[in-house]
Amino acid sequence: SEQLFVEMADVMAAEGWRDAGYEFVCIDDCWMAPTRDERGRLQADPKRFPSGIRKLADYVHSKGLKLGIYSDVGNKTCAGFPGSYNHYDLDAQTFASWGVDLLKFDGCNSGTLELLAEGYRRMSLALNKTGRSIVYSCEWPFYLRPVQQPNYTEIKQYCNHWRNFFDVYDSWSSIKSILDWTALHQDSIVKIAGPGGWNDPDMAILPGIFVFLSQLVIGNFGLSWDQAVTQMAMWAIMAAPLFMSNDLRHISPEAKWLLQNKEVIAINQDPLGKQGYQITKDKNFELWERPLSGQAYAVAVLNQQEIGGPQKFTLSLTFLGNGLACNPACSIQQVLPASRNWGVYSWVSSLSLEVNPTGTVLLKV
């Protein structure tokens, strides 16, 4: 209901979320009335959004935030509400007239792959034609992948970020499967990411929590502390758009600290805009790095083991940045799970880290 989004906008403005960089309050599927109006336009459900989307957008803007909305490339949304097929220009104009700032465009009920691709292209052009700056969040490659390899160069021409994998759930197995998939496909997806277009590991609706474009399930119930640290660290390494799927009115101080951590957000939002990648996998350990501006690197050491206690990992610094990150020397700052200054190291030295099961140590080198 609109009341939920009003309350969430209030919390985002009052409790530091906006100032940390979380700008968008996003409405997912099911916001619409079951039919279009007499002029063929989408309309909000009159019971749950009695004031209409324009008024909600104005309120969200008054808090220094932006409003995101949902539609679908096919003739029906995933939940069976009216889709945008054959209404791309009209829907784009409607969203612009309401003051919408982001569109999540789903891929259900699209018919053929040709119609899917045509719909994504046409909505992109329609949004641009409105003259309003609207972030375009696509699910194009996710719906293509079972049948054909997505053309990411083309997708980036039309979309600002695009979903690659199944819905994220509030569980370690879900986070793990996203990381495994990303590592497996990194050769085809890492090179395309950059300013203007980003790989989105996942999207979801989490019923009963807060319906948001979803990325970060931190602050709910399914992840341990170490697993929450892993998600935050790895989403920063992957240059993933950070969308929270949680109820900010009832969030623990620990989860808030993690989600608002300025050092992690700075890595995620690094202006160089390069996506990170896995460099090596050794038994239960994974080593990932991400090139940052100013000749720096973000480095993540992930312990995939799920039982036992903390384990030692010895990081040879010659591994990093094709041997360039610490040549001839580098300073190392630990960001997660807690801030720590490791000092200056030479190119040929190594660093011994202790990593908890399903946990991650995130460094800036």
**Per-residue pLDDT, 165:** 72
Domains and CATH numbers, the chain: 2-269 (3.20.20.70), 277-364 (2.60.40.1180)
pTM over 0.75: yes
CB-based burial label for 275 (10 Å; 0-12, 13-18, 19+)? buried
Q: Which of 10, 167, 180, 226 is catalytic?
A: 167
CA distance 286 to 360: 9
**Per-residue pLDDT, 225:** 93
**Per-residue pLDDT, 245:** 87
Q: Give 295-349 as a DSSP string.
A: TEEEEEEEE---SSS-EEEEEEGGGGGGGTTTSSEEEEEEEESS-EEEEEEETT-
Q: How many helices (H) and strands (E) does the chain have?
A: 12, 14
Is 247 part of the annotated catalytic residue set? Answer: no
**Per-residue pLDDT, 145:** 83
**Per-residue pLDDT, 220:** 66
**Per-residue pLDDT, 211:** 32
Name the one residue in this structure whose structure tokens are 């803007």. 61
pLDDT of the chain, 365 residues: tens digit per residue = 999 999 999 999 999 999 999 999 999 999 999 999 999 999 999 999 999 999 999 999 999 999 999 999 999 999 999 999 999 999 999 999 999 999 999 999 999 999 999 999 999 999 999 999 999 999 999 888 878 999 999 999 999 999 887 667 678 888 898 899 899 999 999 999 999 999 988 754 333 233 333 356 666 667 899 999 999 999 999 999 999 988 999 999 999 999 999 999 999 999 999 999 999 998 899 999 999 999 999 999 999 999 999 999 999 999 899 999 999 999 999 999 999 999 999 999 999 999 999 999 999 99
Is 270 part of the annotated catalytic residue set? Answer: no
DSSP state of 170: S
Name the one residue in this structure whose structure tokens are 């360039």. 324
Q: Which of 106, 200, 202, 270 is catalytic?
A: 106
Tokens in use for 159?
Answer: 């979309």
Judge whether 248 and 259 are in contact, CB under 8 Å. Answer: no
